[in-house]
């Protein structure tokens, strides 16, 4: 090692021929550029044709292919403990007159809102037509009787690390819910259950998984991803 070995000059036959390697590379880069612009539509079509096949594929092999319309599961900590209907608690506190702690059963007896809306990640992946159900956040805030100092909402997760925030105006929107149902059934643990946030008009990072606490605050406090570069305004666009 150490010395540069003598490179042998390619023979005439190796220098002849078309520059197919370069064309292949340029072709792939061109395909990449076109795919960035049009790939979203192609993915929608693929998802519509193959999504039902993938969902009903007994072998599970189709799931190995990135056909789209599939969730990526994010966790920013190690393992997250499992909470059940018996153990789960959601606290509402901070700048409020009536701090409260709710069980899952408490939340289930409140008025439920249902709608169908996509889940959009800021990095680009999305899952269209997800069925959501739960309690409007505004319902819990109204019950808590906020003080005049309350200007924002802070969310905590029982993963022990994740936090998020909304302005009071965002929090009172009718499409911001404390979700108990996702994909037409109770929110699974992997999706952030038994209770997670869903902010329909915002990127996924605004929708805290494994929701444990809602705090009314006098200023909006940047959450986990926002201290790591993401915009505190998570509106999709």
Partner 1 sequence: MTPLAPPAGSVHRFSASVRAVHWATTVLMLVCMLTAAVLYNGSLALAVGHRRDIELIHVYCGFGLPVPMFVGLVSRAYRLDLGRLNRFTRADWQWLRSRTRRDGTIKVGKFNAGQKLNAALTAGSILVLLGTGLLMYFPDWVRVSWRSGATFLHDWFALGVGLLVLGHINYARKDAEARRGMRAGVVSVAWARGEHEAWAEELGVSSSDQD
User: What does the binding site for partner 1 look like in residue numbers (CB under 8 A)?
Assistant: 1-11, 13-22, 24-29, 31-33, 35-40, 42-43, 65-66, 68, 71-80, 120, 122-126, 190, 228, 230-231, 236-237
The per-residue DSSP string of 137-188 comes to HHHHHHHH-B-TT--EEEEEETTSS-EEEEEHHHHTSTTEEEEEEETTEEPP
Whole-angstrom Cα distance, residue 164 to residue 167? Answer: 11
CB-wise, 77 or 87, nearer to partner 1?
77
- Least distance CB 119 / partner 1 (angstroms): 12
Whole-angstrom Cα distance, residue 60 to residue 185? Answer: 21
CB-wise, 24 or 101, nearer to partner 1?
24
CB-wise, 73 or 111, nearer to partner 1?
73
- Least distance CB 154 / partner 1 (angstroms): 20
Burial of 116 (0-12, 13-18, 19+ CB in 10 A): exposed
- Least distance CB 197 / partner 1 (angstroms): 18
- Least distance CB 195 / partner 1 (angstroms): 18
Measuring CA to CA, how many Å separate 10 from each of 7, 16, 17, 28?
9, 10, 12, 26
Quick check: 205 and 171 in contact, CB under 8 A?
A: no
CB-wise, 17 or 111, nearer to partner 1?
17
CB-wise, 42 or 105, nearer to partner 1?
42
Q: Pairing mode, if any, of strands 100-102 and 90-94? A: antiparallel
- Least distance CB 158 / partner 1 (angstroms): 14
- Dig out the tokens for 153 from the structure: 């909402």
Quick check: 175 and 228 in contact, CB under 8 A?
A: no
Query: Per the omega criterion (within 30 degrees of 0), is the bond before 194 cis?
Result: yes
CB-wise, 80 or 90, nearer to partner 1?
80
Quick check: 92 and 150 in contact, CB under 8 A?
A: no
- Least distance CB 205 / partner 1 (angstroms): 10
CB-wise, 99 or 121, nearer to partner 1?
121
- Least distance CB 232 / partner 1 (angstroms): 13
């Amino acid at each position: 090692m150490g010395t540069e070995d003598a490179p042998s000059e390619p023979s005439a036959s190796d220098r002849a021929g078309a520059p197919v390697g370069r064309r292949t590379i340029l072709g792939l880069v061109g395909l990449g550029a076109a795919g960035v612009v049009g790939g979203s539509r192609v993915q929608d079509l693929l998802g519509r044709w193959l999504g039902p096949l993938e969902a009903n594929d007994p072998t599970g092999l189709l799931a190995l292919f990135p056909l789209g319309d599939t969730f990526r599961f994010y966790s920013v900590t190690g393992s997250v403990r499992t909470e059940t209907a018996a153990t789960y608690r959601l606290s509402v506190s901070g700048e409020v007159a009536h701090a409260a702690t709710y069980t899952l059963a408490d939340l289930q007896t409140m008025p439920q809102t249902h709608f169908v809306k996509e889940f959009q990640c800021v990095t680009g992946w999305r899952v269209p037509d997800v069925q959501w159900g739960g309690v409007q956040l505004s319902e819990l805030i109204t019950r808590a009787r906020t003080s005049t100092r309350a200007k924002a909402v802070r969310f905590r997760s029982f993963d022990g690390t994740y936090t998020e925030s909304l302005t009071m105006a965002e929090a009172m929107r009718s499409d911001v819910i404390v979700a108990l149902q996702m994909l037409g059934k109770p929110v699974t643990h992997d999706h952030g259950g038994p209770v997670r946030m869903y902010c329909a008009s915002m990127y996924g990072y605004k929708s805290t998984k494994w929701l444990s606490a809602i705090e009314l605050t006098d200023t909006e406090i940047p959450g986990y991803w926002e201290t790591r570069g993401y915009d505190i305004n998570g509106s999709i666009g």
